[in-house]
Chain A
């Protein structure tokens, strides 16, 4: 995956989390990373310049990442209408992930974020472009799709580097389950 010269917008209320994501993206070879702390900042940035992909926190104040996604997808005269949107969320309950999918997000990535999970989701978006669906009630990537492993054999393999991540607790979904949920419509489980 080649991220050079692509403009990536990281929208997270925490400057510290943004800095960590920034560092990871730099490691991936990205050289044009913008940061904003709230959804008004996102809207202003989108009006001012072309953004290639947005990585956005689900709870981005004041509108929330999902309302923001719906607004971007819903505005017909908006050049960013089909921009890939990757939603970051620490709330990985099934209902929350479904809401993100139905808002028009391309993917959801569970917080805390690890380098491999971020790389794989970006790579998936890059190498598996999905058709867009435009109906009366929805505009966004086709929610019926199937993940058949990450591109080019990318995925979790025995030789992958260990990433230290705190154990999740509560009724939450693992990242694999989140990915599967995005594909569940295809199999009629929605």
Chain B
């Protein structure tokens, strides 16, 4: 842990600062008020909050900060380019992941829709849709990210007390099944306005 420096022992000019003086005056004033209240038998006097210890503010230079500032690191442009290449390299495997995730979501929702008991299914659907939204967003699958994000919004509202409308969830799953297809998966939401507007209407209807 970094060593803390108390303002009193720091390199500041000796003597109280303007803030410290103001605080001292305020504390004296509070004490005087408290005394007066006690004298007048005011019941509220017991509720007067005693002044707490002053805030301690101290510099911290962690190992992360010291080491990260060393010379010899990867320059920003190069670092970002390399990170971008890593994401590009992840894309082929992502498409398999996308297939699996959407298939898993579909199976789960269809099972629940058929009336089978699946404890914790909303949490599972929420986790998987968050994962899809965040990964698709980072990898540039914008339509998938949009639909998964809309589903997340819907599930958040259900968790906050809105009615659990299965049709609205199924509608999102169907949209995801469409978006995972090769011809759709690299599309932007604005390229399929009917779909995006439809989903927005569904979410608005359920969350009101």
Q: Which residues of A contact B (CB under 8 A)?
A: 1-6, 13-14, 16-17, 19-20, 23-29, 50, 52-53, 59, 78-79, 81-84, 90, 111-116, 118-119, 122-123, 125-127, 129-136, 141-142, 152, 154, 160-161, 163-170
Distance A3 CA – B63 CA, assembled complex (angstroms): 11
A167 to B60, CA, bound (A): 37
Please tell me which one of the listed residues B67, B76, B89, B139 contacts residue A123 in the complex, with CB atoms under 8 A apart: B76
Main secondary structure of the interface of B (DSSP, over half): helix
B95 contacts the other chain (Cβ, under 8 Å)? Answer: no
* Chain A residues whose CB sits within 8 angstroms of the CB of B52 once the complex forms: 135-136
| Cβ A90 vs Cβ B62 within 8 A | no
Q: Please name 17 further chain A to chain B contacts, defined as beta carbons within 8 Å, in addition to the given A20-B90, A112-B133, A112-B145, sorted by A numbering.
A: A1-B68, A4-B72, A17-B134, A25-B83, A26-B86, A27-B84, A28-B83, A83-B62, A83-B64, A112-B136, A115-B83, A119-B79, A125-B68, A131-B58, A166-B133, A166-B136, A167-B146
Are B76 and A154 closer than 8 Å at their CB atoms? yes
Q: Which of B55, B79, B150, B189 has the most C-beta atoms of chain A within 10 angstroms of its own C-beta?
A: B79
CB distance from A161 to the nearest CB of B (A): 6
Assembly CA distance A78 to B130 (angstroms): 32
Q: How many A-B residue pairs have CB under 8 A?
A: 201
A90 touches B142 (CB 8 A): no
**In the complex where A6-B64, A132-B57 touch, is A20 in contact with B74 (Cβ < 8 A)?**
no
State A164–B84 Cα separation when bound (angstroms): 10
Interface string of B83-98 (1 = CB under 8 A from A): 1111101100000010
With A81-B1, A135-B55: A166-B146 Cβ-Cβ less than 8 Å: yes
A to B CB contacts below 8 Å, 25 in the list? A1-B68, A1-B74, A2-B72, A14-B135, A16-B131, A17-B131, A17-B138, A20-B135, A23-B87, A28-B82, A28-B83, A82-B1, A83-B62, A119-B79, A122-B68, A130-B60, A131-B58, A134-B4, A141-B60, A154-B76, A165-B138, A165-B142, A166-B136, A166-B149, A167-B142
